[in-house]
Amino acid sequence: MLKQSFLTNIVIVWFLLTLLNDLDGLGRVDGNSILHLVNGTLGQSVMLSVHLPWADPSIVTWDFTNSSAGKKIQLCMKTRNNPADCISESGQRINLNLTDFSLEIQTLMKSDQGFYEVNARSEGVVHEEITELRVYERVSNLNIQIKDISTNGACNVSLSCSVENNSNLKYSWWRGSEEITTGGLHSVTDDGTTLEMSLDRHENKTIYNCTVKNPVSEETGRIDLAGPCNIGKDPNLQNKTQLHIGIAVAVITILIVILVAAIFVRKKQSKPNEAPNIEGTSEPAQYAAITRTSNARVQSQGHLCQLDASERQQSRGVQLTTIYDEIKFNPDVSTPMMPVQKGQEASANA
């Protein structure tokens, strides 16, 4: 009796192991369906593989059931010694690989998402596999924004992380290599899209990262809160710096005003010492020779005679002015006669 029970248990175990091996070949997803799961990227290509026990089955068919419509259609069929026949509605996007009978779908669209079932037969034996295809958009245009901030004492800030598409996304916040969860100074809300925190002004870790991913892609953005939170800056020191800059500007302005005033006064004082401007001519000074006769002792005054050069200047249109001077004679001082050239003497006697 005991021996019979032992043999029965061995048979049950063997049956369960065989069943599990079959399940592992197909794969189990979420504990509900026995199938392969393949994730595809919108606009790209995907290959749906199949594991047939024969190299040359008598017939292979691929059927498709759309996730939303629920209607099954036959995509491709291949019989032995005949070419593959795929539906024309898919155009050139669907190809059957005749080497391993896998199915290739190019330029994926959202409508390609659903269940793909392959049936193969050989010598009366049937082999079936099901593949679920899910199509996702790539994560793009990640943006981190400051929703709210207050810097009264500590810096209380709320961050928002968003992307362009919102299909099956997972959000996570990081500071360095540490993932942030709710607790302590941080709070993660709105399915991970919002991070709220309170930072001290002397905090040295101010860079936060937001990572968004889906089954086919991920993207990470960063923000540095040192500037918005004025972290590491002393408000009193900042005020003192601004005060010092204001004083320096005022002193420089006063010095410039004093310098300009000094230059103005100096120019004004130098004007009386300047030579008067003789209006009407810019010609050089004219010279005259003084002559006197032998009876100069009894004469009361002499006359000035212009040089011959005055006549040449008058011929050029220059207006000359004759200068007269009164000569005083001192009888007690004998003045020697000045030598006079012949031309000058003749001019004087005339």
What was the pLDDT predicted at 137? Answer: 93
Q: What CATH class has 18-136?
A: mainly beta
What digits encode the pLDDT tens for the residues 145-168?
999 999 887 899 999 999 987 778
| Residue spans of the chain under pLDDT 70 | 1-34, 89-91, 232-242, 271-350
Give residue 320's pLDDT: 52
* Assigned token pair, 164: 């362009």
- Residue that is written with structure tokens 């410039």 in the block: 256
What's the pLDDT score for residue 97?
A: 93
Nearest residue to 178 via CA among 217, 208, 214, 218: 208
From CA 194, how far away is CA 171, in angstroms rounded?
9
Q: What is the CATH topology of the domain spanning 143-224?
A: Immunoglobulin-like (2.60.40)
Enumerate the domain spans of the chain. Answer: 18-136, 143-224, 234-264, 286-331+340-344
How far apart are the C-alpha atoms of 200 and 203, rounded to whole Å? Answer: 5
pLDDT tens digits for range 80-98? 989 999 887 666 899 999 9
- pLDDT single digits (tens) 298-331: 444 444 444 454 555 555 555 555 555 555 556 5
Provide the terminal-to-terminal Cα distance of the chain, rounded to the nearest Å: 181
What is the rounded CA–CA span in Å between residue 33 and residue 43? 27
Neighbours of 21 (CB within 10 A): 9
Angstrom distance (rounded) from CA 16 to CA 65: 31
* Short-list 31, 26, 42, 36, CA closest to 168: 42
- 195 within 8 A of 161, measured Cβ to Cβ: yes
Q: Please give the pLDDT value at position 347.
A: 44
| pLDDT for residue 316 | 54
pLDDT for 129: 95
Q: Can you tell me which residue has the tokens 């809160």?
A: 225
- Measured at the CA of 46, the angle between CA 43 and CA 47, to 5 degrees, comes to 165
Element (H, E) at 311: helix 309-315
Query: What pLDDT does 346 receive?
Result: 41
pLDDT given for residue 274 in this prediction: 52
In Å, what is the CA distance from 118 to each residue of 22, 67, 88, 226?
16, 17, 19, 58
What pLDDT is attached to residue 230? 85
Which pTM was predicted? 0.55
Do domains 18-136 and 143-224 share one topology? The answer is yes
